[in-house]
Amino acid sequence: MVKIIKMQEKIEEKKKIILKSLAKQARKLRGEKSQFILSSEYDISVSIISTIERALKDPQITTIFKLAEAYNIKASELVKLIEDGLPENFSLIDN
């Protein structure tokens, strides 16, 4: 049981690394546009944008697609940018 808990804690730590990479890219791609304007133009709540940009929210896949559209890129490009921001040889689950 202790081993399972430690494994879950490790996965949660790694999720935070992914969320921090997303947050960094989201802030960078938003540029000078305010969260409010982005929210209004692309039907994404300001609170979701804010929590994503602070690495507090693990967004739904549909939100990733909306964000990518708002940034004028494909969802796969956004995921690639997130991936590129991760440490070398990053893996969510250790084998």
Residue 36 sits in a domain whose CATH number is: 1.10.260.40
Indicate the number of domains in the chain: 1
pLDDT confidence of residue 92 = 87
* Domain contains 27: yes
Positions of E strands within 1-64 = none
Predicted TM-score of the model (pTM): 0.90
* Domain contains 19: yes
> 87: buried, middle or exposed (CB in 10 Å: 19+, 13-18, 0-12)?
exposed
Longest dimension (CA), the chain: 48
Q: Are 14 and 92 in contact (CB under 8 A)?
A: yes
pLDDT confidence of residue 81 = 98
**Low pLDDT (below 50) residues in the chain:** none
* Domain contains 93: no
* Domain contains 95: no
pLDDT confidence of residue 95 = 62
Residue range of the domain that includes 30: 2-84
